[in-house]
Structure 1
Amino acid sequence: MSVRTLPLVFINLGGEMLYILDQRLRAFNTSEDNSEKGVWSENDRKRVMNDIVGTLFSKSFMDELLKPQQLYSHRTMKTVLTRLAHTSIMRLNPASMDRLYELMIMAFKHQVFLCPRPKDLLLISYNHIDTIKEFVKDTPVVVNQVNETHRKIIEVYSSLSEGEFQLLRQTLLIFCQDMNIRVSLFLKIKIQNPNGRFAMTTAGPVPHGIDVPGLIRTFDSKGREVRRREFPNGGSYTSPIREGSFELHGDRVIRLGVNMYTADHPEETHTTKTPSVKPNDTPNLLAKEELNLLARLMGSVKAVNMPGAEPGFRINLFNTDQEEDEAGASAGAGESLFGVINIQAMQDEQVATELALIAGQFAEKEEESENQSANKGDELLAMMDDL
């Protein structure tokens, strides 16, 4: 597992979150003043963008992220990103936050798949950073924070070898492999199958600096080519056009890390669950305690209701409030649908004792790993509260 993955994950997921929030805020936009209750104005949208970007790209927060460390679990990552989204006057209920996180993960997963070579992962981050700067271009202080982070990313990752980038890519693929959420936009342009898995083509340009597959060359001890043999590559590959990559899908060009959402297509933020059950949904007492600790450290978002405090706004990732309530109710009901069936069979007492000892060792290692992840998450959340 690469210890340089966390900064890229936060920047790219944070960028996707800002894309989606910007699209939804523009869809509900009204007049310049906030004359209609519950509807966002243009000034509200800009303020939300400035608050979230300012917190995400703050110097202390980025310095902590850039330290070599293991990647967080999905539970911890969603908790920190939820706290990040709530640093502004905007509020998301759990059902909308779940949908937002699913959209972020699936968009990032697809972009990782589109990278023809591991080093192109940096192109995703650079494109996210460039688009984020456009969101806050009217606030020079926040733009300077983004530029400073851009400089640090180049400084840290430009010295990594090809092998380290490959390890980084494998870490990202492991992080995303169990997320197979169906997204309406991806289904519409036929880059995602009905089961939630992406349809990868076996055609197009190969990575920059790489030869088209299909040829095996044999060399002697002096480096001279002595034999050449061709083999079917199973696709229709061409030489690279230029450094970088993109894929054509119908009338769209999906580039690495570029905002694919528009205010004219609010349905493109629609997701549906696949029938498969993700391993992360398995009840875990240690994970529950970890989330309870993080929640206590984050503090209560009810502070907006204090006397004299500015009222917050609520944003809905669903088309209607009724749909949002139904999604939250179904999520809560889904947890109770799965019962626990205990099956006990006759077995040798000595074997059972040995298995219990082995299971105890695994439990100790798992608890130690989760405690380390929780401690790192606690530090970032405490830092957000200070900011």
Structure 2
Amino acid sequence: MSMRTLPLLFLNLGGEMLYILDQRLRAQAVPAEKAHKDEWTDVDRKRVLSDIISTMFNKKFLEELFKPQDLYTKKALRTVYDRLAHASIMRLNQASMDKLFDLMTMAFKYQVVLCPRPKDLLLITFNHLDAIKDFVRDSPTIMNQVDETFRKIIEVYGRLPAGEFQLIRQTLLIFFRDIHIRVSIFLKDKVQNANGRFVLPISGPVPWGTDVPGLIRMFNNKGEEVKRVEFKHGGHFERAQSEGSFDLYGDRVLTLGKNMYSISRPVETHVSGPSKNSALNTTKESIASDLLAKEELNFLARLMGGMEVTKTSAPEPGFRLNLFTTDEEEEHAALTRPEELSYQVINIQAAQDQQRNEELTRIMGEFEIHDQPQQSTSKGDDLLAMMDEL
């Protein structure tokens, strides 16, 4: 597995989260002059996005994020995004947060699967960052934070060889393995089957410098070609005529990572029934999560505890955002969600050292995810104050 995968995963999932929140906030916003005390306005939407982006691109946070490290589990990342989503006046309950994370995950998974070259992951990331800059054009300070991230990505990933990008892509595909959440946008566009698996194109031009599939060449230890084997790939691929001929391939890459929610249409998720293999893999992942629980919690504490935060004089009332059409639909989703897709805090027995035991218990308690109250006036814990205490 690549030690350089986490920043790309975090930034791209974060970009998808902002797309979804922007779309839902726009759908629920009312004109400021007509808004009641507990209703969203466009001013609230901009403030929520600015607060989240400012937290997401915090300098110390990103410095810790870009350090070479293993990719952490979905449970650990889910906790990060839960805290990130609540870095503003917005409040999501458990069912809406689950739906948000599912949409983020499936959108980026589709982009990773679809990119023809592993290095195209950088183009996807840049598309997300460009869109994020559009959200904060009125905030020069936050714009500078995003620009600094641009420079950091170019500095870290610009010199990596093609083999390292292939390893990064494989690491991401392993992370997304056995996640098959059905999304209405993908189903309507016929890029996803009813079982939640994506439909991949098997035609069109291949990237410049890439051979058309159908040939396997074998070399000896001196680098000399010793054997060729042909196979039928079942598609209709074309070799790029020149380096400047982007055509259909380029158009497809340039759209990856763009905001697919910019067109107003309903967004829903449907959970596919797990197969025996996926259930087995989920069990194995749970075991691995238990073994790595302490390291993940320490990672989260270090990642979030190092952020620069400011205390507010008084907690502000939190506005509740519902990613479902009705409250009843939201409650039904929470009750019917399969257990293997629920994101629970792992309870583990700490080490024998009493001091470390108490410290781990404190961290686990602070990172525990609680359901938000159903009332729209629910305040919830202020994330920034929580981070400041860390």
Normalising to structure 1: TM-score of the pair?
0.75
Query: Structure 1 counterpart of 2:164, which letter?
Result: E
2:33 and 2:291 map into 1 onto residues whose CA distance is: 44
1:216 and 1:291 map into 2 onto residues whose CA distance is: 42
Show structure 1 runs of 5+ residues with no match. 300-305, 337-370
Query: Structure 2 counterpart of 1:385, which letter?
Result: M
**Which position in structure 2 is the counterpart of 1:118?**
118
Show structure 2 runs of 5+ residues with no match. 306-311, 341-359, 368-382
**Which position in structure 2 is the counterpart of 1:194?**
194
Task: Kindly indicate whether the alpha-carbon contact (under 8 Å) linking 1:23 and 1:263 is maintained by their aligned counterparts in 2.
Answer: no
2:263 and 2:333 map into 1 onto residues whose CA distance is: 23
Aligned residue runs from structure 1 range 104-143, under 5 A: 104-143=104-143
Aligned partner of residue 186 in structure 1, secondary structure? helix
Match of 2:333 among 327, 330, 334: 327
Distance 1:244 1:139, change over 3 A: farther
**Which position in structure 2 is the counterpart of 1:27?**
27
Matched, 1:242 2:255: no
**Which position in structure 2 is the counterpart of 1:82?**
82
Matched, 1:313 2:319: yes
Task: Kindly indicate whether the alpha-carbon contact (under 8 Å) linking 2:87 and 2:384 is maintained by their aligned counterparts in 1.
Answer: no
**Which position in structure 2 is the counterpart of 1:178?**
178
RMSD: 3.9
Task: Kindly indicate whether the alpha-carbon contact (under 8 Å) linking 1:120 and 1:244 is maintained by their aligned counterparts in 2.
Answer: no
**Which position in structure 2 is the counterpart of 1:160?**
160
Write out per-residue CA displacement over residues 42-69 of structure 1, whole angstroms, 9 at most, x where no aligned residue. 1000001100000111110100000000
1:308: Cα distance to partner? 4.4
Aligned partner of residue 118 in structure 1, secondary structure? coil
2:80 and 2:63 map into 1 onto residues whose CA distance is: 16
2:97 and 2:182 map into 1 onto residues whose CA distance is: 16
**Which position in structure 2 is the counterpart of 1:341?**
none
Distance 1:99 1:224, change over 3 A: closer
Distance 1:217 1:57, change over 3 A: closer
Aligned partner of residue 204 in structure 1, secondary structure? strand
1:243: Cα distance to partner? 8.7
2:218 and 2:78 map into 1 onto residues whose CA distance is: 50
Write out per-residue CA displacement over residues 134-181 of structure 1, whole angstroms, 9 at most, x where no aligned residue. 011111100000000010001000111111111111100000011100
Of residues 306-315 and 75-84 in structure 1, the stretch that sits farther from structure 2 once superposed is 306-315
Query: Structure 2 counterpart of 1:311, which letter?
Result: P
Distance 1:246 1:93, change over 3 A: farther
1:212: Cα distance to partner? 2.3
Distance 1:78 1:243, change over 3 A: farther
For this pair of structures, how many residues does the alignment match? 333
2:167 and 2:236 map into 1 onto residues whose CA distance is: 27
**Which position in structure 2 is the counterpart of 1:302?**
none
2:237 and 2:191 map into 1 onto residues whose CA distance is: 18
Matched, 1:385 2:387: yes
Matched, 1:272 2:274: no
1:327: Cα distance to partner? 1.3
Distance 1:243 1:138, change over 3 A: farther
Matched, 1:101 2:101: yes
1:256 and 1:273 map into 2 onto residues whose CA distance is: 24
2:225 and 2:171 map into 1 onto residues whose CA distance is: 37
Task: Kindly indicate whether the alpha-carbon contact (under 8 Å) linking 2:204 and 2:248 is maintained by their aligned counterparts in 1.
Answer: no
2:69 and 2:296 map into 1 onto residues whose CA distance is: 23
1:385: Cα distance to partner? 1.3
1:161 and 1:323 map into 2 onto residues whose CA distance is: 48
1:4: Cα distance to partner? 0.3
Distance 1:15 1:107, change over 3 A: same
Query: Structure 2 counterpart of 1:41, which letter?
Result: T
2:93 and 2:230 map into 1 onto residues whose CA distance is: 57
Write out per-residue CA displacement over residues 232-285 of structure 1, whole angstroms, 9 at most, x where no aligned residue. 43210123432994677xxxx9821000013621x22x0001111554478669
Query: Structure 2 counterpart of 1:100, which letter?
Result: L
1:80 and 1:385 map into 2 onto residues whose CA distance is: 12
Task: Kindly indicate whether the alpha-carbon contact (under 8 Å) linking 1:30 and 1:41 is maintained by their aligned counterparts in 2.
Answer: yes
Distance 1:165 1:228, change over 3 A: closer
Identical counterparts, % of pairs: 54
**Which position in structure 2 is the counterpart of 1:209?**
209
